[in-house]
Structure 1
Amino acid sequence: MPRYKLPLGATAISLLLASCGGEAEPKPADTLPAIENIADDAAPGKTRLASTIAPFFEDPALEETRAIVIMHGGRVVAERYAPGYGPDSRLISWSMAKSVTATLIGMMVADGLLVLDDPAPVPEWSSPGDPRAKITLRQLLHMSSGLDHTEMAEGDKAIYEADTTRLLFLDGRENVARYAEKRNLEAEPGRHFEYSTATSHILADIMTRTLTDSSDPVVRRNAMLEYARGRLFEPLGMTSAVPEFDRSGTMLGGSMIHATARDWAKFGEFLRNNGSVRSAQLLPTSWTRFMKMSSANDPAYGGHLWLNKRRPEGRDQVLFPGKAPSDVFAALGHLGQFVVVSPQHRLTIVRLGKTQDDQLDPINDQIAKLIAIFPKS
């Protein structure tokens, strides 16, 4: 069965085309050997844990896995890297960046800079009578803005006609937010779910304009970067995290943040601990509850997080409902980027690699098996 296609993110149109079925991008030189470290006292047992991780790297149906990091009870109990990759390798988020964007939005709400159910402060929508003026932050975070965004090319459309391709690589790339914000409504806000990378770029633009009135790209970039580093990356110890920006200074918060697998695991742990790190509550627990709560139009999608619940009929399933607890949640990205959290198991699993989106079922199944070998708290 075809899988739901997660959105794109890359640094060149050649990578985009490669990810859609052409030749794969070149691998890094294999200067690093394969690395595997598993704790002797890992709860499932070292041998069992190693054998459950092995298929990610050794079973052709699950390749190409580049990194696995597992944190249990707040500590790393296992990590493994393919040749050419290691603990210091920064790997792209693709759409896992959306969950980072939602977390930063929550911090701005907590700071009193934004309000979840107020109309989103977008100047493009402020003309009298503009129906887009009713769109709220909640609706943007739930992917239910009603804006006419086409995430992926479908049917007879070519890949370059999809909005995600256009805003990242073609006519929208200079100013992704302007491209996304100029689209008209195709549905009443709040009534229809449509996954959209463009929506997350609108949220990134809202954050940036909240931080600075300047239109200077350098000022905009620095304001957003300083906030992201000071409020999230540095307190979590995500020292490798590097967001990308367009030429207008808008963070590409829907697709492009680079970080090591260990740092992605720290982000998952932060959400597992309901916004706290080392006993410091950086994000209100009410916000993490919002992120993990099903949206009105898709039970499997919360506030820019995927949930382990069945989707409505006609929509491809995501994650593994029925094979792991329903409170499992995940930040997911194109080509098989996973930060999966199981609160009941006190577990965060990071899998990074390059697997076509219609071939992710074996990886989902193996992640479910990996969760199952850990004890529930």
Structure 2
Amino acid sequence: MISPRRAPLIALLLAASTLAGCGSAAPPEEPPLSEEALAAVSKNPGAPIKAVAREVDDLFTLPDLGETRALLVMHAGEIAAERYAPGYDANTRHISWSMAKSVTAVMIGMLVADGRLRLDESAPVPRWQRPGDARGEITLRQLLQMRSGLEHSEATEPLYESAEVRMLFLDGRDNMADYATAQPLEAEPGAKFEYSSNTTVILADIAARALTDSASPDARRKAVADYLQARLFEPLGMTSVVPEFDRAGTLIGGSLIHATARDWAKFGEFLRHKGSHKGTQLVPRSWIEKMVEPSPRATQYGFQIWLNRPLPEGEEGPLIPDRAPHSMFSLSGHMGQYVMVSPAQKLTVVRLGHSDRPQRRAMLGQLADVLELYPAE
């Protein structure tokens, strides 16, 4: 029999125990990490090993993100994590799609530094130089910032009527620059942002003309390929790169450059170091700074590269400004190709794969989970 004096004390203890059980239930344990998940992370990834392994693993295993084929995280210049889907490895070349645009922008920067091109003069496109042609007012800067004013439609429905699809695969495919430069103006040069793969082909054609006077497709192809190899790919150790050219010898500089995940990471690190590699300045530091400066017509875009900047309320940007530093920028390609560079976090993150439009937002959220493991300095 319980003593009357002890009954209130026992009741109080029982109530406290019940409340504690209700209010401090242990969180459910996360499933154990597989050997594959742990093996993807280096010994010193710059963040907790298990946290990095889990976030990387989620990119390969969570539903509704699409197919991640390669993921490489570099922190402070060292590989922090690297993983590939079955059928892919460190030697697999991946298509760039629009990530190629940033490579083309760097090539243009080198030609400007060489004195072969002028940023704020009329773009040297022969058909635009005829008297009375208003397209002669388009500058190289406006082409780089996607505000040429040329008539264009990107990724519209039906796809076969999209200007870039027609240029790449239909009536413009044999001479893409001829197709792209033939388009009329739909706006005053400089007044309107219009994302355009065709514009980058115009830039690639301008580069070829700056490097050779020959109209021979073979000569044009060789001039651009040799220039990129000697001035960019070889110094960076990007040994896997395969650029594609059309029948006229023009680099398909807005869409078709192939390289391994490691080589894409090398290019990202080169940008993170503002054009410097192992103490050698391959392109002026000021050019990389121009590349990541917001366009006057699109704060989320620079010189052929996407910026992690917030947009007006109600507009959804292509990156993650609410979850990563606004100084981050990214090469971005069709179906979810990314080389994200965050100087404030000393990070370069490469994600290559296949995610359709509905999957991409969720996949970007998972990439943000990886980025958030590394605090900005």
The equivalent residue for 2:340 is: 340
Instruction: Indicate which of 21, 44, 49 corresponds to 2:47.
Output: 44
The equivalent residue for 1:194 is: 194
Residue 38 of structure 1 aligns to a residue whose secondary structure is coil
The equivalent residue for 1:302 is: 302
Q: Are the equivalent residues in 1 in contact too, given 2:38–2:53 (CA < 8 A)? A: no
In structure 2, what is the Cα distance between the partners aligned to 1:83 and 1:63? Answer: 14
The equivalent residue for 2:221 is: 221
Q: Letter of the 1:67 partner, please give it.
A: A
* Higher relative contact order (CA closer than 8 Å, sequence separation 6+): 1
In structure 2, what is the Cα distance between the partners aligned to 1:358 and 1:199? Answer: 27
The equivalent residue for 2:326 is: 326
Instruction: Indicate which of 71, 74, 78 corresponds to 2:74.
Output: 71
1:1-377 to 2 correspondences below 5 Å: 36-154=39-157, 158-312=158-312, 315-377=315-377
In structure 2, what is the Cα distance between the partners aligned to 1:45 and 1:109? Answer: 43
In structure 2, what is the Cα distance between the partners aligned to 1:161 and 1:45? Answer: 49
Residue 149 of structure 1 aligns to a residue whose secondary structure is coil
Q: Are the equivalent residues in 2 in contact too, given 1:35–1:86 (CA < 8 A)? A: no
Change (3 A) 1:86 1:36: farther
Q: Are the equivalent residues in 2 in contact too, given 1:34–1:84 (CA < 8 A)? A: no
Q: Are the equivalent residues in 2 in contact too, given 1:334–1:357 (CA < 8 A)? A: no
Q: CA deviation at 1:62?
A: 1.6
- CA displacement 1:315-349 (0-9 Å, x = unmatched): 54110111111101000000000000111110000
Higher mean alpha-carbon deviation, 255-264 vs 301-310, is at: 301-310
Change (3 A) 1:320 1:34: closer
- CA displacement 1:163-200 (0-9 Å, x = unmatched): 11111000000000000000010000111000000000
In structure 1, what is the Cα distance between the partners aligned to 2:87 and 2:356? Answer: 20
Over the aligned positions, Cα root-mean-square deviation in angstroms equals 1.4
In structure 2, what is the Cα distance between the partners aligned to 1:176 and 1:373? Answer: 43
The equivalent residue for 1:29 is: none
In structure 2, what is the Cα distance between the partners aligned to 1:83 and 1:291? Answer: 36
The equivalent residue for 2:29 is: none
In structure 2, what is the Cα distance between the partners aligned to 1:333 and 1:194? Answer: 16
Q: Are the equivalent residues in 2 in contact too, given 1:34–1:85 (CA < 8 A)? A: no
Q: Letter of the 1:251 partner, please give it.
A: L
Q: Are the equivalent residues in 2 in contact too, given 1:110–1:284 (CA < 8 A)? A: yes
Higher mean alpha-carbon deviation, 145-154 vs 91-100, is at: 145-154
Q: CA deviation at 1:35?
A: 10
- How many residues align? The count is 342
- CA displacement 1:234-291 (0-9 Å, x = unmatched): 1111110110000000000000000000000000000000000011111111100100
Runs of 4+ in 1 over 6 A off after TM superposition: none
Q: Letter of the 1:77 partner, please give it.
A: A
In structure 1, what is the Cα distance between the partners aligned to 2:208 and 2:311? Answer: 33
Runs of 5+ consecutive residues of structure 2 not aligned to the other structure: 1-35
Residue 332 of structure 1 aligns to a residue whose secondary structure is strand
Identity of aligned residues (%): 53
Q: Letter of the 1:336 partner, please give it.
A: G
- CA displacement 1:200-246 (0-9 Å, x = unmatched): 00000000011011111111100000001111111111110110000
Change (3 A) 1:100 1:35: farther
Change (3 A) 1:244 1:192: same
- CA displacement 1:2-40 (0-9 Å, x = unmatched): xxxxxxxxxxxxxxxxxxxxxxxxxxxxxxx99953111
Q: Are the equivalent residues in 1 in contact too, given 2:94–2:261 (CA < 8 A)? A: yes
Q: Letter of the 2:276 partner, please give it.
A: S
Which has more radius of gyration? 2
Residue 340 of structure 1 aligns to a residue whose secondary structure is strand
Q: Letter of the 1:282 partner, please give it.
A: L
Q: Are the equivalent residues in 2 in contact too, given 1:319–1:364 (CA < 8 A)? A: yes
Residue 57 of structure 1 aligns to a residue whose secondary structure is helix
TM norm structure 1: 0.88
Q: Are the equivalent residues in 1 in contact too, given 2:66–2:356 (CA < 8 A)? A: no
Say which structure is richer in helix. 2
Q: CA deviation at 1:61?
A: 1.8
